[in-house]
Chains A and B, each alone.
Chain A
Amino acid sequence: MNNQEVGFVKSVKGFLIYIDGLPTIKVNELVENEQGVRGWVNALLPNQVEVLLLDDVNIQPGQIFHRAGKQLTVSVGPFLLGRAVNALGIPIDGNGNLAKSKTTEEAEIDRPAPGINDREFIAQQFMTGLTMVDSLVPLGKGQREMVLGDARSGKTTFLISSILNQKYTNTICIYASIGKPITDVRNLIDTLRVQGALPYTVIVAAASSDPAPLIFITPHTAFTIAEYFQRQGRDVLIILDDIGNHAKIHREISLLSDRSPGRESYPGDIFYQHAHLLERAGNFNKKAGGGSITALPVMEINLNDFTTLIPTNLMGMTDGHLFFKSALSLQGQFPSIDVPMSVTRVGNQTQDRIHNKLATKTKTILAEATQIETVAKFSSELPFATQLMLKQKEQISELLQQPLYTYIPKEIQIILLALPLTHIFSETNKAFMQRYKLKIIEAFIKIPQLSQIVKSLNNFKNDVELLAALEAVGPILQKITSEIPPAPQPTIPVPSTQQVKPQPEPTKT
């Protein structure tokens, strides 16, 4: 400690300590005491230094803290893949220490975002493997898309599916669990391990029982790890689950440190805290390492109310949002996304031409059919065109759904979007699609005449040519869907019409 700057603890407020001394300390620097307890400088007051304690220890006034001479850093490297760490980079999955070496990079967790000179136009689509998202609300690599919805609306299931489907796209996934219960973190690790997603995933977790400063820096650590892989030229998906908890922790810290509360008691810099985090996502040019960081900040809302401060803030700093509804989730729809209420501002420019055209037509049908659906219920006879549109809507709705944790390649998605626009299944309904959807997908993968269309999608000049090609193979599809015997109908037991004979009375002895 000789010749180091030191300071004395003047007062303690839980995880916040105020130190007198440390004359030339800067914000975001680390301080330590002799027992190795670390603190992170949060603010410089006129006569004191405000420090957030990173270790859950009781500090007494009068203790000495010295300047550690460095910013808060975390070790980054390929050894993080498949591991779960806390916000300080310490493993929490019980699988031993990280395989670090002497040359392991130590990256600062609070770095400024790269400037415009390091960025590139977002031109590649980010595939989640879910038809509904990839077709109707497409994402681009480097986009920031908020995931918004009530509790139990299917957000986490969607996120896990997206992570699982990245095994087909060579994308690194970083999942930041911010202030969730420890059981949820454990369940997530187990799910990813069982589904084989851990080898390309890093989990950064701060449980709700962890100290508030640790929860606060969790997304910073996650982005630092993401930036490491991005600089290696990799595409990275980062999920911040959820950013509302992060806002609440920031509010707690700010109120404890006597900052003036603003709207909904959040501090005035709440927008900055999230904006400067999300700015670190993007699509980067070779000079900046290449690669991309696609960010999915999650926001849990109450009763579909997205007009409060944090959701509206996030809408202003993201490139769109996916709106999840618990009503759709309860109906069994997966993903339970309300497509008309969802927005993507960047993804459409990344879609293939044909995919984009089919998606536009699909959205038009869905919108128009929804409008006339209510009126149609009161009409006795509907025009043929209206009936066709309503049937198409049913088929499309069914084709957009998919089982949990399944992956549908982009080519198959295009085929599924095109099928309702042909006349092949114009006489069928939703139940038909429900029964034969998987068989149809299998047919387009296995049967040569059908898989040929899938392989030559890039050769079609427009969607009309694709539809014509599908019409030509319509008889094959009709034959396939007629070969499977119909599912046995459950029989309802018919009550017996025979009279019940009275039982003889027991004889007395």
Chain B
Amino acid sequence: MEDTTLNNLLQTILETSFTQMQALARLRILKETLMAKLFTASLAPPINLTPSDKQWLDGLDVKFLDQFNHKNFSTLIELSEKEIKKMPTLTVVLPFELPEKEARETTNRLRNDYGKTFLIETKYDRSLIAGPALIWKGVYKDYSLRQKIEEKKEKLLQMFQSSKPQGPNPKELKNE
């Protein structure tokens, strides 16, 4: 029963959280809300919520919140925190900062294609020029234009050296 509740909890949090920091922040908000609900609500300090957090909280199913009681609340929160910290993170390194809408679409696409069992972090490195680099389980995979140029550096240099100059001869232009 508790496993099912834990899975539900993780699913709910990871639905709209992509990075470890976001997931832990949502978990903290949920913890404070449940503490206020289950324990001395009148003495609990007011929870400061951003509009998106408030929207998320309001969107939670009542049946979901009813799964928590005095006995299982702290255990579930602790276990969820451990699970979130253990989850592998896919770091996507991009050469430019994506607008928020495109960033969310990209991460949703990744989640849909590969499941919700990993977190996603985004970093920026302009030297990539174009294309991403991915870091998964501690290994750096570079799919950027910079890497392609690096791999074909010798060939490109040969091409530049052997290519003949295009256009009119500068000496001819001067005589004219």
Q: Which residues of B contact A21 (CB under 8 A)?
A: 135, 138
Q: Cβ of B147: which chain A residues have Cβ within 8 Å of it?
A: 2
Contact with B along A358-372 (1 / 0, CB 8 A): 000000000000000
Is A2 within 8 A of B138, CB to CB? no
**Which stretch (A3-11, A70-78, A132-140) binds chain B?**
A3-11
Contact check, B138 vs A1: say whether CB atoms are below 8 A apart: no
Residues of A within 8 A of B137 (CB): 23
B142 within 8 A of A: yes
Number of inter-chain CB pairs below 8 Å: 31
- Does B39 sit within 8 A of A, measured CB to CB? no
Residue of A nearest to B151 (CB): A2
What is the chain A residue whose CB lies nearest that of B135?
Answer: A6
Are A22 and B138 in contact, with the CB atoms below 8 A? yes
Q: Whole-angstrom distance between the alpha carbons of A48 and B137 in the complex?
A: 13
A62 and B89 CA atoms in complex are apart in Å by 14
Chain B residue contacts of A144, Cβ below 8 A: none
Contacting pair A6 B142 (CB below 8 A): no
CB-CB under 8 A from A6, the residues of chain B are 135, 138-140
Give the complex CA separation of A1 and B143 in angstroms: 11
Select the residue from A2, A3, A64 with max chain B CB neighbours within 10 A: A2
Select B139's contact among A5, A8, A64, beta carbons within 8 Å. Answer: A5
Contact in complex: B138, A3 (CB < 8 Å) = no
Q: How far is the CB of B98 from chain A (nearest CB, A)?
A: 18
When chains A and B are docked, how far (Å) is the Cα of A62 from the Cα of B122? 11
> What distance in Å separates the Cβ of A324 from its nearest Cβ neighbour in chain B?
52
Instruction: Name the residue on B nearest A2 (C-beta).
Output: B142
B138 contact set on A, CB distance < 8 A? 5-7, 21-23
B141 engages A3 (CB within 8 Å): yes
Q: Which residues of A contact B142 (CB under 8 A)?
A: 1-3
Q: Which residues of chain B are within 8 angstroms of A220 by Cβ–Cβ distance?
A: none
Q: Is A66 an interface residue (CB 8 A)?
A: yes
* CB-defined contacts of B91 to chain A, threshold 8 Å: 8
* Pick from B123, B140, B141: contact of A66, CB under 8 Å: B140
Query: How far apart are A275's CB and chain B's nearest CB, in angstroms?
Result: 34
Over the window 93-127 of chain B, the binary record of Cβ atoms lying under 8 Å from chain A Cβ atoms (1 yes, 0 no) is 00000000000000000000000000000010000
Instruction: List chain A residues, Cβ under 8 A from B139.
Output: 3-6, 23
Query: Number of A interface residues, CB 8 Å?
Result: 14
Report how far A6 CA is from B135 CA in the complex, Å.
8
Nearest chain A CB to B8 CB, angstrom units? 27
Within 8 A of B (CB), among A56-97: 62, 64, 66
Q: Chain B: which residue is nearest A49 at the CB level? A: B138
B132 CB to nearest chain A CB (Å): 13
Most buried by A among B138, B139, B141, B142: B138
Taking CB atoms, residues of chain B closer than 8 Å to A66 are 140
Shortest CB-to-CB span from A81 to chain B, Å, is 40
Could you tell me the distance between the alpha carbons of A392 and B32 in the complex, rounded to whole angstroms? 90
**How distant is A9 from chain B, measured CB to nearest CB, in Å?**
13
How far does the Cβ of B125 sit from chain A's closest Cβ, in whole Å? 9
B residues less than 8 Å from A62 (CB atoms): 123
Kindly list chain B residues whose C-beta atoms are within 8 Å of the C-beta of A8.
91
Instruction: Give the Cβ gap from A69 to chain B, nearest Cβ, in Å.
Output: 13
> Nearest chain A CB to B107's CB is how many angstroms away?
19
Give residues 226-257 of A contacting B (CB, 8 Å): none
In the complex, the chain B residue whose C-beta lies closest to that of A23 is B138
Looking at B135, B142, B147, which has the most chain A CB atoms within 10 Å of its CB? B135
- Nearest chain-A residue to B85 (Cβ)? A47
CB distance from B84 to the nearest CB of A (A): 14
Interface of chain B residues 66 through 109 with chain A (CB within 8 A): 91
A67 vs chain B, min Cβ distance (A): 9
A4 vs B137: C-alpha distance when bound (angstroms): 11
The distance in angstroms between the C-alpha atoms of A7 and B135, with both chains bound, is: 9
Query: Which chain A residues lie closer than 8 Å to B141 at the CB level?
Result: 2-3
Residues in B whose Cβ lies below 8 Å from that of A2: 140-142, 147
Closest-CB distance, B97 to chain A (whole angstroms): 15
Query: Separation in Å of the B91 CB from the closest CB of chain A?
Result: 8
Q: How far is the CB of B54 from chain A (nearest CB, A)?
A: 29
Which residues of chain A have C-beta atoms less than 8 A from B135's C-beta? 6, 21, 64
Can you name the residue of chain A whose Cβ is closest to the Cβ of B142? A2
User: How far apart are the CA atoms of A5 and B135 in the complex, in Å?
Assistant: 9
Q: Would you give the shortest CB distance from A68 to chain B, in whole angstroms?
A: 13
Closest to A7 in B: B138
B140 contact set on A, CB distance < 8 A = 1-6, 64, 66
**Chain A positions 1-52 with a Cβ under 8 Å from a chain B Cβ:** 1-8, 21-23
In the complex, how many angstroms separate the beta carbon of B88 from the nearest chain A beta carbon? 11
> How far does the Cβ of A87 sit from chain B's closest Cβ, in whole Å?
29
Closest to B91 in A: A8
Within the assembled complex, what's the spacing in Å between the Cα atoms of A4 and B133? 12
CB distance from A142 to the nearest CB of B (A): 45
Q: Mark B141-156, 1 if CB is under 8 A from A, else 0.
A: 1100001000000000
CB-nearest residue of chain B relative to A25? Answer: B138
Enumerate chain B residues within 8 angstroms of A7, measured Cβ to Cβ.
Answer: 138
In angstroms, Cα B141 to Cα A204, docked, is: 40
* Smallest Cβ-Cβ distance to A4: which chain B residue: B140
Taken together as a complex, chains A and B put the C-alpha atoms of A71 and B91 apart, in Å, by 27
What are 21 contact pairs spanning A and B, CB under 8 A?
A: A1-B140, A1-B142, A2-B140, A2-B141, A2-B142, A2-B147, A3-B139, A3-B140, A3-B141, A3-B142, A5-B139, A5-B140, A6-B135, A6-B138, A7-B138, A21-B135, A23-B138, A23-B139, A62-B123, A64-B135, A64-B140
A residues contacting B by CB (< 8 A) are: 1-8, 21-23, 62, 64, 66
Residues of B within 8 A of A (CB): 91, 123, 135, 137-142, 147
Q: Considering the complex of A and B, which 6 residue pairs feature the smallest CB-CB distances, nearest first?
A: A2-B142, A23-B138, A21-B138, A6-B140, A5-B138, A1-B140
Given A1-B142, A2-B141, 4 extra CB contacts under 8 A: A4-B140, A5-B139, A6-B139, A23-B138
